[in-house]
Structure 1
Amino acid sequence: MAVHFPPSPGHRLGSVCAALLVVALAGCAEDRGTGTTAASSASPPAATSGPTSGSGAAETGSAAPETPGGSPAPSGNDVAPYDDTSTRDAAASFGAAQRLGDSLEAVVEGPRPGTTGERPVRAAPGTPVQVFTLTLTNTGSTPVDAVPWSFPVAVEGDEPATPVFDDSLGVPMETFPTIAPGDSASLEVAFSAEHDADLAVRVFDNTAPDHYVEFTD
């Protein structure tokens, strides 16, 4: 049975920030020379999570907090690729495999508590975070461009947790590559949250972000 979730903060900033993140991810992947697939073929669409009304920084007139590098870090999960029409297709426990579609299977392991180092992105140094490992396995017979599954969302209740990138935690700005039949690939993701926060991780296909699979304890 599909379960409807109310919108979460960040609706109006979602599409712009998500597009900017994709550009950053693509440049990051090229610079690292890791062979990670650029995200140009499957950028997050305009459908985003969002507040009800009047809760965004642009509407209230309050300035968004800044990261140590000086770039704005909007509150909430402004890159969440879902809105109030999204439904949960399935649920699984952390560490358990769950099918995402015809040829992909996902496992989310964690959480692992951590603290950001000196140069995190979208968080201040010393911020408590929870780190997860998202692993995708291609169970089909043809390669799968897995970039669209590179943007999981974490929520505590219905409140989103801001995604954080930090090389010192092993959480760089990267996306999934194309996965060959029978192969697997893993992506480290982190979210700003207290170590005792009860986070759920939602995995979306960004090319059609109206359905997701949720992983919890």
Structure 2
Amino acid sequence: MAVPFPPSPGRRLGPVCAALLVVALAGCAANEGPSPTAAPSTSPPAASDGPAPTATGTAAPATPSAGPEPSGNDVAPYDETSTRDAAGSFGTAQQLDGSLEAVVEGPRPATTGERPVRAAPGTPVQVFTLTLINTGSTPVDAVPWSFPVAVAGEEPAVPVFDESLGVPMETFPTIAPGESASLELAFAAAHDAELAVRVFATTTPDHYVEFTD
């Protein structure tokens, strides 16, 4: 009669090990999960040749370039649309407002030197002296009266500044009661041109007092 031999320890543990192996493999598969997808690109798009967009996504409009500067004076009563409040001769006083009188003396023909402003060297000019007198009882800020114009007919003459002629770029000061101040003026014009000088305040440039020969 055959005697049964007990199974060896390795054979007894075989089914158990196989079961444990199946459980371990199942757990590993569950932990792996699906493979991650590729992350979206964060690099900026290529720049285009068009204008840069604004915060709203619309193209920023181009800034217009400044136009050419006007010739002559920027504010000047040249034509019949302005009101002439008074007219007088060179050398005589004319009332400008309630407390200012004006006297224009000239013209004196001259020629610009080597370094004039707003004219070429050797340009013929006519030079005038404008004097303001404060006839009131309070000081007057006379800066607005510092930019008279000269016209031949209705055509403006370009103002010229020239240190060699004693015509610097300056303005009137504040004039005390009973005091006066003078300003030298020059305008590009032929020596035989008949110029009229119009004195006005830049605060009311459509009203002026005119001086002629």
Q: Same fold (TM over 0.5)?
A: yes
> Structure 1 residues 215, 83: CA separation in 2 closer, same or farther (over 3 Å shift)?
closer
1:74-113 → structure 2 map (5 Å cutoff): 75=71, 77-82=72-77, 84=79, 85-113=81-109
Instruction: List gaps (5 residues or longer) in structure 2.
Output: 1-66
Equivalent position of 2:137 in the other structure: 141
Contact 2:136 2:178 in 1 (8 A): yes
Equivalent position of 1:213 in the other structure: 209
> Structure 1 residues 208, 131: CA separation in 2 closer, same or farther (over 3 Å shift)?
same
Q: Does 1:129 align with 2:125?
A: yes
Letter in 1 for 2:76: P
- Shift of residue 161, structure 1, vs aligned partner: 0.2
With the length of structure 1 as denominator, give the TM-score of the two structures.
Answer: 0.65
1:173 to 145, 169, 175: 169
With the length of structure 2 as denominator, give the TM-score of the two structures.
Answer: 0.66
Q: Distance in 1 between matches of 2:76 and 2:155?
A: 14
Equivalent position of 1:11 in the other structure: none
Task: State the Cα deviation string for residues 86-129 of structure 1 (Å, max 9, x = none).
Answer: 11010000000000010000000000000000000000000000
Contact 1:128 1:193 in 2 (8 A): yes
Contact 1:83 1:210 in 2 (8 A): no
- Shift of residue 83, structure 1, vs aligned partner: 6.1
**Stretches of 4+ moved more than 2 A in 1?**
78-85
Tell me how many residue pairs correspond in the alignment: 146
Equivalent position of 1:193 in the other structure: 189
Q: Distance in 2 between matches of 1:79 and 1:151?
A: 10
Letter in 2 for 1:173: M
Instruction: List gaps (5 residues or longer) in structure 1.
Output: 1-57, 59-63, 65-71
Contact 1:128 1:195 in 2 (8 A): yes
Who wins on radius of gyration, i.e. which is larger?
A: 2
